[in-house]
Structure 1
């Protein structure tokens, strides 16, 4: 069973995303900050990370850049998930190495589709 880490400072958004992922049969660890995620990353070893962009402390863009620059985490697929959904934000997601970018509020079918594509890739 694949493990997914959901990183979002909004409890409501974390619960919605977690519910969708658990309905797919995935194991989910949800955390509320990039800093907490980085601490738990080595022990949890997720198959995929769903990452909010706008958070207190380190942003999702910064965390994604760090993940993709690290030899131990660069192959973990990252889905950026944010209320910031302009074309410029999506381009910036590509620049920092995100594997997908979806807008909030999260569309269940879109999330499931992206997760299936990235976990089976």
Structure 2
């Protein structure tokens, strides 16, 4: 069982992701902004982060870059889950430090496969 932080400003998306991850046995917490994500990851050191991109204030790309460049949090894998479906968005997310990229709506099998892959290292 891994501790996973969901970062998304959509309560519906958070609940959907939470249900899928908890059903797979993971412990899940959530925040609704990039600023909160940076603070929570630094303080709680989750095993993985599920990061939305489009959020007010600090967006998911910015939060991913901040966390992946910080020596204290760089080892924590980030899976970007976004409605942005362009290849350039996927490439940009990976360049910011994300380990995986999924487009919403996510399929349960795809989400769990990506999460398990990043947790395995």
TM-score normalised by L of structure 2? 0.96
Deviation at 1:43, TM superposition (A): 3.1
- The answer to whether the 8 Å contact 2:5/2:49 transfers is yes
Q: Secondary structure at the match of 1:9?
A: coil
2:19 is matched with 19
Give 1:12-91 correspondences, 5 Å limit. 12-91=12-91
| Unaligned residue ranges in structure 1 (runs of 5+) | none
| Deviations, residues 8-49 of structure 1 (Å, cap 9, x unaligned) | 000000000011000111100111111112222233210000
Structure 2 residue 116 is matched with structure 1 residue 92 = no
CA-atom RMSD in angstroms: 0.9
Distance 1:66 1:42 in 2: 11
d(CA) in 2 for partners of 1:45, 1:70: 12
Where in structure 2 are there 5+ consecutive unaligned residues? Answer: none
Instruction: Please report the TM-score for the alignment, with normalisation by the length of structure 1.
Output: 0.96
SS in 2 for 1:98: coil
- Alpha-carbon offset, residue 117 of structure 1: 0.8
Residues 49-85 of structure 1 deviation map (CA, whole Å, 9 limit, x = unaligned): 0000000110100000001110000010000010001
